[in-house]
Structure 1
Amino acid sequence: MWQKSRLKAVGGEMTPEDFEATMRKAQIIDLREKGDFDAGHILGARNLPYTQLKQRQVELRKDLPVYLYDLTGAMSVRAARKLRKEGFQHLYFLKGGYDNWSGKTKKREA
């Protein structure tokens, strides 16, 4: 119960279906490192690794929703907490992370 209230405090956990249905109006951020991103990512996502989030958060617009995902979902919650402290209001993360995604993906061509 406590964990669920913490999740709601930083934003909303979204099912893959809800994520996909509403993502066209959001900034989709892949928090994984570049190699993982290049191997496959959600179509339309930008790579902003969690390790670089503090330095690169200026690339995000505070007036648009931010959809976060990583491999399993755990890192997305931490990223949402960090962004919330920086004034971002509309933060959402993919339940189960990229491992739980069955929608359209893209791979970087070698």
Structure 2
Amino acid sequence: MTAFKHLSINQLIHMTEDEPQPQIVDIRDAASFQAGHILGSVNLTNENLAHFIADADMDAPLVVVCYHGVSSQGAASYLIEQGFDDVYSLDGGYTAWSTAHA
């Protein structure tokens, strides 16, 4: 079993320009997600986790986003345990992403 990898904002920008496009999951609360999120990301919650795993491409890159890049590390480890091969935790989380895109 492999471990998740850390991903910088710049690396994510480059990754979204490549094929295949990464799957991006945002584990913040629904209100924060609604207030702003990375284009194309899915708000991953306990309620939709099983459905997401069943429908996801386990081989495509998967980027996990939280508020500051801390909680996403645990979620990334969990998703690797569920069978995803190429999992990343976004360093700095959505806070860093939104600052970079302000």
Tell me the TM-score normalized by structure 1. 0.76
The percent identity for this pair of structures is 29
CA contact (8 A) 1:10 1:77 kept: no
Residue identity in the other structure for 1:27: Q
Among candidates 31, 36, 55, match of residue 35 of structure 1: 31
* Greater helix proportion: 1
Tell me the TM-score normalized by structure 2. 0.81
Helix, strand or coil for the counterpart of 1:67?
strand
Separation in 1, partners of 2:101, 2:55: 25
Separation in 2, partners of 1:100, 1:52: 26
Query: Which ranges in structure 1 are unaligned for 5 or more consecutive residues?
Result: 1-8, 105-110
Residue identity in the other structure for 1:22: M
Separation in 1, partners of 2:3, 2:76: 6
| Displacement of 1:52 | 3.9
RMSD, aligned CA: 1.8
Are 2:96 and 1:100 aligned? yes
Query: Which ranges in structure 2 are unaligned for 5 or more consecutive residues?
Result: none
Spell out, residue by residue over 1:54-99, the C-alpha distance to the aligned partner (whole angstroms, 9 max, x if none). 5342232202110110001111111111111111110011101111
- C-alpha distance 28-54 of structure 1, shift in aligned 2 (>3 A): closer
- Note the 1:69-84 alignment, pairs <5 A: 69-84=65-80
Are 2:53 and 1:55 aligned? no
Identify the residue that residue 5 of structure 2 maps to in structure 1.
12
Separation in 2, partners of 1:69, 1:86: 17
